Amino acid sequence: MHRQQLPLDGVKVVDLTNVLAGPYCSYQLMLFGAEVVKVELPGTGDLARRLGPDPELNRERMGASFLAQNAGKKSVELDLKSPAGRAAFETMLAEADVLLENFRAGVMARLGYGWERLRELNPGLVYCAISGFGQSGPMSGAPAYDQIIQGLSGMMSVTGTPDTAPLRVGFPICDTVGGLMAGLAICAALAGRQRGGRGCFLDLSMLEASISAMGWTVSNYLVSGVEPEPMGDQNATAAPSGTFETADGPLNIAANQQAQFETLCRLVGRPDLAADPRFAEREARKNHRQALNQELNKALRARTALEWEELLSREGVPAARILTVPQALALDQVRHRGFLTEVPLPGSGERPVTVTGNGVVIDGVALRPRGPAPLLGQHNAEFEAVR
């Protein structure tokens, strides 16, 4: 049976990245069909090989973080500071379409592989450098992890309530956003190369990508001069829009449109709220948010969160329970679309490992990794000719 043809079939990616932002980017490229070869330091490899909650997997250099972001890739050990390693790397680059790295700004140039040199080696190369702050500017040389970017972007200042902010978002969102933006930029560059034949240098700042992803929290300030504040689980742009109380737990409701609000009032048995001058119009509801939420909470306590989710959703009012990660992964909807894939644990094959896709279905088929994450240097022999 032939494998489904994918948009990036035939694209070769040389991946020098570590831990998350870069590997997340190249994982997306792999799902879309690209061949991704991880170039790892001999004997050490990606730092993520030792990151995860399972000490045994960490000792085997198969940490959960690595397994999650590197399925379907190949691994080759090269020392870019040795003559043999450099020669092999340059041979690989000559055949590559994309070079991806997430070193601190300037590291590649110090290794002798600045953009001018890379362009000499391969004029069609798309070179993407992911860094915390970009390759130039007063902060370009500073170290940056996800939490550092979360703080500097303003993201933490609007996360939580006025009493608890600033808070870190509960997952590495800046790494993820940086990886996604890098993947988008690479695909755009590959499309552009089809017209002109030449590659380009993509200088991606995680700080700027993260600020751009913050939506109205940034645009409200830039356009209207309104500085965002932490509002907990409430949405500053609309009311009622946030988390509410039910008989057995919290429920998210986003009745952002007038018709949705009126339907909500009817379904909870409080049609009078839609006629109350404090709540009748959008801006009035925002100004009297707390009073409106109190009235709705009283009515919503009559049913369970699941009952309200089903009733409100059926009538066109966005509403859903707040789930744990295990509950979210167990949703019939997630399983129906083939989002999760079991692959063998590298090296043993006895223990299956479940990894995620990316939410994209092409011609009815979900994108899945073609195999497990590689052992360190697993594909050395395949590239022996360049070593």
Catalytic residues: 175
Amino acid 82 reads S
The H-assigned helical ranges of 32-155 are: 55-59, 64-70, 83-94, 107-110, 115-121, 146-153
Environment class of 65 (CB within 10 Å of its CB; exposed 0-12, middle 13-18, buried 19+): buried
SS3 355: strand
* Dist. CA 37–CA 365, nearest whole Å: 24
DSSP string, 175-196: HHHHHHHHHHHHHHHHHHHHHH
To which residue do tokens 């707390």 refer? 290
Whole-angstrom distance between the N-terminal and C-terminal Cα of the chain? 34
Specify whether the CB–CB gap between 345 and 62 falls below 8 A: yes
b/e code 270-294 from CB counts within 10 Å (16+ = b): beebbebeebeeeeebbebbeebbe
Q: Are β-strands 12-15 and 98-101 bridged in parallel, bridged antiparallel, or unpaired?
A: parallel
- List the strands of the sheet with 98-101, edge to edge: 74-77, 35-40, 12-15, 98-101, 126-131, 200-205
| Amino acid type, 368 | R
What distance separates the 2 farthest-apart alpha carbons in the chain?
79
201 phi and psi angles, rounded to 5 deg: -105, 115
Which amino acid does the sequence have at 372? P
> What is the C-alpha R_g of the chain?
25
Round to whole Å and give the CA distance between 7 and 97. 14
Residues 144, 147, 153: CA angle, nearest 5 degrees: 85
Asked if 278 contacts 292 with a C-beta cutoff of 8 angstroms, the reply is yes
Distance, in Å, from the CA atom of 234 to the CA atom of 252, rounded to the nearest integer, reads 10
Task: Using alpha carbons, select from 120, 135, 111 the residue that is nearest to residue 41.
Answer: 111
